[in-house]
Structure 1
Amino acid sequence: MKIDPRHLEILAAIVENGGLTEGAEALGKSQPSVSRTLAQLESRIGTALFKPGRRPLQPTELGEALAEQGRMVRKANLASSDIVSRFKAGHAGLVRVAGTPIFMDGVISGIIARFQAQVPDVRVEQSYGYAETLIEKLRNETLDMAIVPLRRDKVPRDLLFQPILPGLNVVACREGHPLTRRKLLTPQDIEEFPWIAPPVDSPLYRDLKRALANIGAENYRISFSGGSLASVINVLTGSDSLTVLPYSVVFTMKAQSAIEALSLEIGHPDRMLGVLASSTPHDNPAAQRFRAFVVAQFEALAHRIVQHQKDRIWR
């Protein structure tokens, strides 16, 4: 037998409030409509649900059992309404975000942690990739956003790109590295030490080659290459090696990783780190909330970087 769950919810209100009029008031309905619903339910079941002649109304054993089911229906309806509200407000849902490994591990992972501290019911699904691959994922809607460095003239016309940080690379080393004690650095100074190279297919690898050319370092040697950010940091802090990293990564990780940037101008890439997303709006409020949070976090980071740079002299 199929019973309309709305009828069970109305029955529960009648039982809880002790009468048809009281139940109707609790539901915001008219007494005649509630009375008709009760009559329909009793006709459907084939038996009375309240003991005759009792005031206030007293449910039969079957009436009480069905009223309990009505309470469960009401509870489920309230829970469902709450779920819908939370999804629409971006307080629940799934966000699929990807980006270049260095930025994702060095900066974005911390932003994700802070976001989920505020919005714990949003699940963030993170992956890695470079611009060309991630652009295709955005187009086939298997990704909500990508955080990648791009030149403005390389932004696809069918996607939206919101810049969040200008390109700024530095030569990074461990704290207490011999070069940090030298006031003036020459290409010969740099060539004394081995280098850590990022993966060859990464934009940062091209930046490393360009930086070495800009500072006139010709006789350099690479001692480690292709690792994750964690392995690069481990090698960097455990040796006298040097590497090129985005300054935002060094700035963010300095306290926990004992690394610092040399005061050496190496030339900066002509691109911006930004959030790349589809130009067609998708109904994913959680992704919209996360995107706004990322932008705000980078605005704060850029401000802290500018303040920090005021205390440094870049050659």
Structure 2
Amino acid sequence: MLETDALRLLVTVAETGSFTGAATRLNYTQSAVSRRIAALEQQAGGPLFERLPRGVRLNPVGQALHRHAVDVLERLSRAEQELTVIHAGHGGMLRVGAFATANISLVPKALRRFGHTSPDVEIVSVEGRSGTLMRHLTEGALDLAVVSDYPSGLPSADGITTEVLLEDELLVALRRDHPLAGSGAIGLRDLRDEAWIQDTYGDRPTMLADACARAGFTPRKIIRIAEWTGKFGYAAAGLGVALVPSLAAWAVPAAVTLCRLDDPALRRTVHLALPATPLPAALNLRDALHDTIN
């Protein structure tokens, strides 16, 4: 194996044209340079320099190794520069995960703010459910994630730290001409005859089911729609009503109105999740998220 220091010495001797010049530039003794070049020539299988009356010059074998040495040293230099930038939080790649409604406004606004201060950081965005995002963090596939405790609690993950970003109230989406659309805060029991548009969580317990039970009824019908555009479409057509986080308000179409509900428990907590040793760029984005909220 050729050592990096030996390759750097080879290049320096070639540039200065003498062992003495290389020793002076690298703060070595001339005898140390001679020994290290001799060891390198042994590894290379033969002489690398022609010994001249005044100094040395590369022979064909030395020229071949010199080309590779220059390439290796340049690559290492670029790697060191890139690592320095990453450690300073000003470059490299940052893999950011978020659940769907966080990607409507919260995360994009924070990324825009972050981009003004760290324009050379490459952002890779991943959308998914909170449990999946937490798993990706533990696997090292994400550097930061925005997650939620809705619908069934904040997923736990070994080695991941979380902090609260905000409390997100759950509103009800109604067709704009719905009789209750202008009523202010709506009693959940007043919606007992409505069909409810929900995600495709199957039989998992949900916040809506618990709230309806507290209000003394069971939803008469559940319509399973996975995407928010579909939920809004069904609500706009008057086919049902849906719980909508306030984070999603920006994306609600004109044919739908959002109303508050009288159950204070209908809210979720949005968290920021980071690995135990986060990248500096991830900490900078954390600050941008807090600034966006404030």
How many aligned residue pairs are there?
280
Aligned to 1:227: 226
Q: Alpha-carbon deviation of 1:242? A: 3.1
Amino acid aligned to 2:47: T
RMSD: 4.7
Checking the alignment, whether the CA contact within 8 Å between 1:169 and 1:267 is kept in structure 2 is no
Checking the alignment, whether the CA contact within 8 Å between 1:50 and 1:60 is kept in structure 2 is yes
Percent identity, please: 15
Aligned to 2:289: 297
Counterparts of 2:82 and 2:111 in 1: how far apart (Å)? 22
Change (3 A) 1:291 1:40: closer
Q: Aligned match of 2:263 in 267, 280, 290? A: 267
Aligned to 1:198: 199
Alignment of 1:1-315 (within 5 A): 3-24=2-23, 26=25, 28-32=26-30, 33-44=32-43, 45-47=45-47, 49-54=49-54, 57-89=56-88, 91-92=91-92, 95=95, 97=97, 101-107=99-105, 110=108, 114=112, 118=119, 120-121=121-122, 123=124, 126-130=127-131, 137=135, 141-142=138-139, 147-149=147-149, 160-173=161-174, 177-179=176-178, 183-184=182-183, 195-200=196-201, 205-207=206-208, 210=211, 222=221, 224-237=223-236, 241-251=240-250, 253-254=251-252, 258=254, 261-269=257-265, 271-276=268-273, 281=276, 283=277, 285-286=278-279, 289-290=281-282, 293-294=285-286, 296-301=288-293, 303=294
Amino acid aligned to 1:232: K
The alignment's TM-score, normalised by the length of structure 2, stands at: 0.67
Counterparts of 2:100 and 2:48 in 1: how far apart (Å)? 70
Alignment deviations for residues 235-289 of structure 1 (CA, whole Å, 9 cap, x no partner): 34565743211101213x35xx5576434443333652223567xx3x4x33x64
Counterparts of 2:108 and 2:221 in 1: how far apart (Å)? 30
Change (3 A) 1:298 1:233: farther
The alignment's TM-score, normalised by the length of structure 1, stands at: 0.64
Would you tell me which structure has more strand in proportion to its own residues? 2
Alignment deviations for residues 58-110 of structure 1 (CA, whole Å, 9 cap, x no partner): 3222222221121122123213323543554454467574x6x5445545663
Would you tell me which structure has more helix in proportion to its own residues? 1
DSSP-derived class of the 1:245 partner: strand
Change (3 A) 1:84 1:245: same
Checking the alignment, whether the CA contact within 8 Å between 1:167 and 1:268 is kept in structure 2 is no
Checking the alignment, whether the CA contact within 8 Å between 2:92 and 2:122 is kept in structure 1 is yes
Counterparts of 1:180 and 1:290 in 2: how far apart (Å)? 46
Amino acid aligned to 2:282: F
Change (3 A) 1:204 1:164: farther
DSSP-derived class of the 1:75 partner: helix
Counterparts of 2:103 and 2:121 in 1: how far apart (Å)? 20
DSSP-derived class of the 2:27 partner: coil
Q: Alpha-carbon deviation of 1:178? A: 1.9
Counterparts of 2:47 and 2:219 in 1: how far apart (Å)? 92
Amino acid aligned to 2:19: L
Alignment deviations for residues 194-236 of structure 1 (CA, whole Å, 9 cap, x no partner): 542234569994237627976x9x7976473242224323434
Checking the alignment, whether the CA contact within 8 Å between 1:198 and 1:225 is kept in structure 2 is yes
Q: Alpha-carbon deviation of 1:11? A: 0.9
DSSP-derived class of the 2:49 partner: coil
Structure 2: any 5+ residue segments left out of the alignment?
none
Deviates more, 1:197-206 or 1:236-245: 197-206
Change (3 A) 1:49 1:155: closer
Change (3 A) 1:129 1:80: same
Counterparts of 2:74 and 2:102 in 1: how far apart (Å)? 41
